[in-house]
Structure 1
Amino acid sequence: MWALRRASTPLRNQGYRVRTSHVFGKLEVPYSWEANVAGFVTTATLSDRFISFERNNLATWPSSGIYISSHGLSTQAGAENSGEEDNVEDGFSELDEALPTTRSEIADDDDDIVDDGSQNELDLLEGETVLAEKKSSKWVPSELTKVIWNAPGLSVASALDKWVSEGNELSRSDISLTMMSLRRRRMFGKALQFSEWLEASGQLEFNEKDYASRLDLIAKVQGLHKAESYIAKIPKSFHGEVVHRTLLANYVVANNVKKAEEVFNKMKDLKFPMTTFAYDQMLILYKRIDKKKIADVLLLMEKENVKPSRFTYIVLIDVKGLSNDIRGMEQVVDTMKAGGMEPDSYTLSILAKHYVSGGYKDKAKAILKEIEESNSRIPQWSRRILLPLYVSLQMEDEVRRLWKSCEENPRIEECMAAIVAWGRLKNVPEAERIFNIVVKTFTKLSTRHYYTMLKVYGDSKMLTKGKELVNQMAKSGCRIDPFTWDAVVKLYVEAGEVEKADSFLVKAAQQYGMKPLFTSYMTLMDHYARKGDVHNAEKIFHKMRQSGYMPRLGQFGTLIRAYVNAKTPAYGMRERMMGDKLFPNKALAGQLAQVDPFRKTAVSDLLD
């Protein structure tokens, strides 16, 4: 059993009260999480039927509330959910020359340290075979894997037909390991083609995990709408917990609160055995969208006697750290240890990150020393974790020391971490030198590897070198994907060529049939907002919705800032937000007041 102990300040002083049983102890939510409510006080009590909230002294705009019945979660109100201009010649002719594709091979995962979408895939789809590959330091790709890797474009099926016709046989373990390798390398498009071929050719009798894997790949490659349609094609006998939690995980990735809660409740209604995975997904979602609901998920876990996983603790540690509640973060770690789980290097790295951001440099350094000592036998596992942390402490000598220990026998993950580190230290020549080592040492580079160097050029506003690298990337046969677009968009914007960035993104999305990253759109909209360019800010806002990105408060905040800087009224903005079930916090309400076309002033009252 576990307990989350008292946070840094007395509960009654934080403006948030949660009553729980002795098992979970006292759950506390810092007042800063509820910045949109004045004098906010909440009391949550667990009964056999539901958790009820009592709210007093609410601000004009109601905050979101959550109702948790014995079946699950439902938002009552206010939760955040989730003609084109002519193309301008942009100098990236390789977009026309690269292999054509109409499917995305990436996932739109957050950069959050605890929201690793790959963990979701590993946990729910590939089972023990995943661990076999992860633990094998000498793993080499099978012939089956190589066939799919080397198949051009959309020709995976024909390449596999030819391979089988040559007398090669498939086993389930071969299939699982190959699928895993494709996922780990984010080759989701080829993984989907592989899955489709397996079923169409009769090479594999599908079980629920196979259908869940297909569902997950469709969501990543073709979007959630197609994934929802695919569910109807899955035999009813396989509509089990694994399929539902796969859909839940993808709604969480999309920050779609309403759909995620619907699936979670349905899983409860169908009386599926609720694993920690489903609750962890809700914690991830509320960590991004509405942190005050985290306590409600923990209460429900206690009521259902669902024990926390290591990942549960990681989310809670990160939440406390993000709110700068260092004492509360440490108390979660103590509870984790009391429950028999020692923090691993990954967990320790999260602690160190928040110690750095909170100004506790000595504590951060002690954590880094602990990580190095705990991985003294296999230092390669710790170097890629330690490099960015030493950078955040501006310890350039330690970065150089670690890289020197890697250089004799470099691993590609360590090289990538070193490139990022030197880029952040503004030492572009050293980052370039390491990237050249990567190009010479490793024969088959992925988009991710080029993206790492592209980002260094983007941060340093080196547009010409960025273009040269994209050309080099295309000539090597590497796919030009939305991560590449994101880097190019930022390169153009940083260089002041925003029109080219905008038209480049339009052209790339049309040619490749993929969805641009959320951050690519936000980079453009943020620039337009700063310039007071309402027309283009609204255009990007509309494109984001068309691409399936449900509006959030941040998007509306950026859009409203465009109206503020343009000194023009925003008619119907409140109604638009209400239509998306979004309610402004205090800062956003202030912005809305500035662009309210009907607001009263002293002069208008006099004229009336």
Structure 2
Amino acid sequence: MRDLEFPPTAFACNQLLLLYKRHDKKKIADVLLLMEKENVKPTSFTYRLLIDSKGHSNDLEGMDQIVEAMKAEGIELDISTQAILAKHYVAGGQKKKAENVLKDMEGGDLKAHRSACHLLLPLYAELGKVDEVKRVWEVCERSPRANECVAAIEAWGKLKRVEEAEAVFDRMAKTWKKLSATQFSALLKVYANNKMLMKGKDLVKRMADSGCRIGPLTWDTIVKLYVEAGEVERADSILHKAAQQKIMKPMYYTYMTIMNQYSKRGDVHNAEKLFHRMRLSGYTSRITQFQSLLQAYINAKTPAYGMRERMKADNLFPNKAVAAQLVQVDPFKKTPVSDLLD
């Protein structure tokens, strides 16, 4: 774009911020400097990305500073940004702040601000507030929207109220003749998190019988269902068959769910196999993959030869945690016993 002499726009900068938020947070500052230099005004989406980035880094003070800067620019927080803010307050243990944000989202009259309901349901569940989830769902229950049903299933699932989640799903099945993969996956995730393997299997069969297209999101939930039930090899087999279909590739985190299980066991052979299969699926190496792989070697109490060279070949450099792992698996590291033998 620069070579073609296009002026930088807020949209282009936001896309860069979105990319770096996911893959390289250190470069976010460079984009912000570019925006300042080129006099590109931040939009509400820019601020939302920055708030989310700070929240993921557990920098709640920095997050609050961005909110203040946003208000100083005269930009109001929309409900999506407020939901992100509340989510990070909950994760950071600032429950009172989270509750205040949720009340702001309700706007004093939940029926008049019904568009916030699908965001409020899982957030009240994160706070463990059963009565609030029930109150918000009662506003939606008479004529529920699809996204509200999915949010309610997710909320009841977080609160371990499986029967309530199933009731919402049944209501959804009566309201719409054909359910989407997202709607099925919501209840499937509840079963996975509660280690209800048989119910999960029955739901997958029902999903297939309905002619619903099963894709990466559903594969991810099915894999987690089997992993939570302790059937890691079965989960691995399902993932392998899904990848062989070559219609859509499984999600990165689905592979990592299984790889992390092998890592915990110290199963170097299968962890290496997953590492290789991720490459075959088109995923370039990331630091998290090496971190999981190294942990497999550590738990197996086996030295890892050439690991630094493998990382270097993928243009990856160890962070502090990975550097500590590399020391543990270094086959040539000196110990008091090795010094005596030398």
TM-score, scaled to structure 1? 0.55
Residue 463, structure 1, aligned to residue 216, structure 2: no
Q: Following TM superposition, by how much is the alpha carbon of 1:347 offset from its aligned partner in structure 2, in angstroms?
A: 1.0
**Matches of residues 117-516 of structure 1 in structure 2 within 5 Å?**
267-373=1-107, 376=110, 378-511=112-245, 513-516=247-250
Separation (CA, whole Å) in 1 of partners of 2:37 and 2:101: 35
Instruction: Give the paired residue count.
Output: 342
CA distance in 2, matches of 1:517, 1:270: 35
1:17-36 matched pairs, under 5 angstroms: none
- Matches of 1:587 and 1:476, distance apart in 2: 46
Q: Distance in 2 between matches of 1:545 and 1:498?
A: 20
**Residues 482 and 514, structure 1, Cα contact 8 Å, conserved in 2:** yes
User: Does 288-297 or 570-579 show the bigger shift?
Assistant: 288-297
Answer yes or no: is the 8 Å Cα contact 1:314–1:347 preserved in 2. yes
Unaligned runs of 5+ in 2: none
Q: 8 Å contact 2:297–2:303 — kept in the other structure?
A: yes
Q: Is the contact between residue 318 and residue 350 of structure 1 (CA under 8 Å) also seen in structure 2?
A: yes
Q: CA deviation at 1:323?
A: 2.8
Which amino acid counterpart does residue 335 of structure 1 have in structure 2?
A
> Aligned-pair distance for 1:319?
2.0
Asked which structure has the greater CA Rg, the reply is 1
Choose between structure 1 and 2: higher helix proportion.
2
User: Over residues 523-559 of structure 1, what are the superposed CA-to-partner deviations in whole Å (9 max), with x where a residue is unaligned?
Assistant: 1101110111111100100111111111111110000
Contact 2:106 2:116 in 1 (8 A): yes
| Alignment of 1:531 onto 2:270 | no
Q: CA deviation at 1:561?
A: 0.4
Alignment correspondent of 2:338: 604
* Cα distance in structure 2, aligned partners of 1:353 and 1:580: 34
In structure 2, C-alpha distance between the alignment counterparts of 1:394 and 1:319, rounded to whole Å: 25
Greater displacement, 401-410 / 521-530: 401-410
**What pairs up with 1:537-552 in 2 under 5 angstroms?**
537-552=271-286
Q: Could you report, residue by residue, the CA deviation over 1:368-392 in whole angstroms, capped at 9, with x for unpaired residues?
A: 1111017646432011111111111
CA separation in 2, counterparts of 1:599 and 1:352?
47
Identity among equivalent positions (%) equals: 62
Q: Measure the CA separation in 2 of the matches of 1:375 and 1:599.
A: 65
TM-score of the two chains, using structure 2 as the length reference: 0.96
Partner Cα separation in structure 2 for residue 549 and residue 440 of structure 1? 40
Which amino acid is the alignment partner of residue 498 of structure 1?
V
Is 2:300 the counterpart of 1:566?
yes
Q: 1:288-332: per-residue Cα shift (whole Å, max 9, x none)?
A: 333232211111111112111111101111222223332322221
Structure 1 vs Structure 2 CA RMSD: 1.5
Change (3 A) 1:471 1:512: farther
Cα distance in 1 for residues equivalent to 2:246 and 2:24: 35
Q: Of 318, 322, 326, which residue of structure 2 is paired with 1:592?
A: 326
Paired residue type of 1:561:
Q
* Shift in Å, 1:436: 0.5
CA distance, structure 2, for counterparts of residue 323 and residue 451 of structure 1: 28
Amino acid at match of 2:15: Q
Which structure has more RCO (C-alpha within 8 Å, separation ≥ 6)? 1
Inter-CA distance 537–333: structure 2 relative to 1 (3 Å threshold)? same
Give how far 1:286 is off: 2.3
Is the CA contact (8 Å cut-off) linking 2:111 and 2:139 kept in structure 1?
no
Q: Structure 1 counterpart of 2:31, which letter?
A: V
* Structure 1 runs not aligned, ≥5 long: 1-266
Contact 1:380–1:414 (Cα < 8 Å) also in 2: no
Amino acid at match of 1:457: Y
Alignment CA distance shift 1:458-1:376 (3 Å): closer
Preserved CA contact (<8 Å) 1:375 1:382 = no
Deviations along 1:157-206, one digit per CA (max 9) or x if unpaired, are xxxxxxxxxxxxxxxxxxxxxxxxxxxxxxxxxxxxxxxxxxxxxxxxxx
Deviation, 1:507, is 1.6
